[in-house]
């Protein structure tokens, strides 16, 4: 039913539980279908965590019509269809809708019940439903089996009218509000944040609000911090927030402090908007060792396409500089999970801005590698 990533000497021992259904996403513009892709927050997040070599367990439900090959098998419900979303990019902005698109749920799979979750403990849990599949009792069970639970607010406040159009309800009216003090992080887009009282929620758990091209903001009980964005040529915003959350949690799993982990989240969000549907960086970049996972995982870069001039001008692998920086930060800092709630440090660490610059540089290097690979005979088909 579920597959976990094989362990290697460099794979973190901390484990993650992802809960949310796979979907079929259909993108439409001008009345015509632009693309049909694998969707659902779980698909984007598992894509990022795979790229970061993070061990995870996925609980997701689909119908017998599910049509995409995936590395982490979902629960197939014989009596149900897979959840389907239509995203309209030319219907304008309406109240409660995303400013960049109007979403309609045209099919819905069964919800995920507490009994569907594995009977074991996890370090991190991620509640990332998109079609109303996560129930209050399911989230409560996640809190019981996970040391730290991260929730995308869309899993809590999405509602659907008679036509299936996505609407948002206030967090206090969602049926999940009583669970907030038991959560660690609540992530919301700037549009979604309007449906909760950030000043109130931040007293119970950390709130992360994403602002697209303007990065994100982290709010906690005693302060707040803006995290710088990364430039991107936006083609399709679908899944950007999901990839952000995957990168954010992946950074924390690797031992980064919150501000640095949020930078990793912004990094993966910026990569995602440059693609239609699910990005393929886990294949085309990881396979050719040009990606952040090599930095975090500690593997050496190889291949003539990936060698760049090092800081000392001696041909050292370019991304090795970021790998060393991340390793140093892990040694100097203390993983937030190992500290009591009232001791979690959100202070910007020394070298944070340099870390941002290093990630930006690795993005440019990977883009050069992609261009070189696309011209080579053995290039990966996208």
Q: What is the pLDDT of residue 14?
A: 60
Task: Pick one of 3.40.1190.20, 3.30.50.10, 1.10.10.10, 3.20.20.70 as the CATH number of 16-302.
Answer: 3.40.1190.20
Q: What is the pLDDT of residue 100?
A: 64
pLDDT tens, residue order, the chain (382 aa): 433 333 444 544 468 999 999 999 998 888 899 889 899 999 999 988 888 888 899 999 999 999 999 989 999 999 999 999 998 876 554 444 445 678 899 999 999 999 999 999 999 999 999 999 999 999 999 999 999 999 999 999 999 999 999 999 999 999 999 999 999 999 999 999 999 999 999 999 999 999 988 999 999 998 999 998 887 666 666 778 898 999 999 888 888 889 989 998 988 888 776 666 676 654 334 333 334 444 444 333 322 222 232 333 333 333 344 344 445 555 554 444 444 444 455 777 777 877 777 777 766 555 544 444 444 444 333 3
Q: What is the pLDDT of residue 115?
A: 98
HSE (side-chain half, CA atoms, 13 Å) at 305: 20
| DSSP, residue by residue, 269-304 | HHHHTTSSSS--HHHHTTTTT-SHHHHHH-PPP-SG
> Tokens 């008679």 — which residue?
162
CA distances from 127 to 56, 138, 313, 377 (A): 13, 9, 46, 42
Q: Which residues pair with 146 in a beta bridge?
A: 122
Q: What is the pLDDT of residue 365?
A: 52
Q: Which residues pair with 103 in a beta bridge?
A: 87
Q: What is the pLDDT of residue 79?
A: 96
- Domain ranges, ordered by start, for the chain: 16-302
Q: What is the pLDDT of residue 364?
A: 57
What letter does residue 167 receive in the DSSP assignment?
Answer: E
- Selected catalytic residue, list 25, 152, 236, 242: 242
On whether the pTM is more than 0.75, the answer is yes
Q: What is the pLDDT of residue 274?
A: 65
Question: How many angstroms separate the CA atoms of 296 and 156, rounded?
Answer: 32
Beta-sheet strands, E only, within the chain? 15-19, 23-29, 32-39, 55-59, 61-63, 75-77, 83-88, 102-107, 122-127, 146-152, 158-160, 166-168, 185-189, 206-210, 216-220, 223-227
Q: What is the pLDDT of residue 272?
A: 74
Retrieve residue 117's tokens: 């979750």
Longest dimension (CA), the chain: 64
The residues, any chain, with a CB within 8 Å of residue 378's CB and separated by 6 or more, are none
| DSSP, residue by residue, 7-28 | P-TTS-S-EEEEE---EEEEEE
Q: Is 242 a catalytic residue?
A: yes
Q: Are 380 and 284 in contact (CB under 8 A)?
A: yes
Q: What is the pLDDT of residue 169?
A: 97
> Tokens 């290697």 — which residue?
8
Question: How many angstroms separate the CA atoms of 239 and 273, rounded?
Answer: 8
């Amino acid at each position: 039913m579920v597959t976990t990533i094989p362990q290697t000497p460099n794979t973190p021992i901390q484990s993650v539980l992802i809960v949310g259904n796979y979907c079929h996403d259909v993108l439409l513009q001008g009345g015509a279908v632009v693309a049909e892709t694998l969707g659902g927050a779980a698909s984007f997040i598992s894509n990022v965590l795979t790229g970061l070599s993070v061990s995870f367990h996925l609980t997701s439900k689909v119908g017998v019509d599910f049509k995409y090959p995936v590395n982490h098998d979902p629960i197939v419900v014989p009596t149900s269809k897979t959840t389907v979303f239509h995203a309209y990019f030319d219907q304008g902005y309406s109240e409660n809708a995303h400013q960049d698109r109007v979403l309609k749920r045209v099919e819905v799979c069964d919800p995920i019940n507490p009994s569907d979750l594995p009977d074991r403990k996890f370090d991190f849990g991620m509640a990332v439903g998109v079609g109303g599949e996560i129930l209050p009792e399911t989230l409560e069970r996640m809190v019981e089996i996970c040391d730290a639970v991260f929730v995308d607010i869309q899993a809590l406040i999405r509602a659907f009218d008679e036509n299936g159009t996505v609407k948002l309800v206030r967090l206090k009216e969602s049926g999940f509000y009583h669970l907030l003090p038991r959560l660690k992080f609540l992530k919301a887009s700037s549009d979604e944040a309007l449906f909760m009282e950030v000043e109130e929620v931040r007293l119970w758990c950390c709130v992360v609000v994403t602002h697209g091209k303007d990065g994100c903001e982290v709010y906690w009980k005693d302060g707040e911090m803006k995290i710088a964005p990364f430039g991107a040529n936006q083609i399709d915003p679908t899944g950007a927030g999901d990839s952000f959350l995957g990168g954010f949690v992946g950074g924390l799993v690797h031992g980064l402090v919150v501000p640095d982990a949020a930078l990793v989240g912004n990094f993966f969000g910026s990569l995602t908007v440059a693609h239609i549907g699910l990005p393929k960086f886990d294949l085309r970049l990881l396979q050719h060792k040009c990606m952040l996972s090599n930095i975090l995982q500690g593997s050496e870069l190889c291949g003539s396409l990936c060698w760049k001039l090092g800081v000392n001008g001696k041909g050292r692998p370019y991304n090795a500089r970021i790998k060393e920086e991340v390793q140093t930060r892990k040694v100097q800092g203390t993983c937030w999970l190992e500290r009591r709630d009232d001791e979690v440090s959100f202070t910007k660490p020394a070298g944070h801005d340099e870390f941002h610059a290093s990630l930006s540089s690795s993005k440019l290097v990977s883009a050069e590698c992609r261009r070189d690979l696309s011209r080579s005979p053995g290039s990966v088909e996208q």
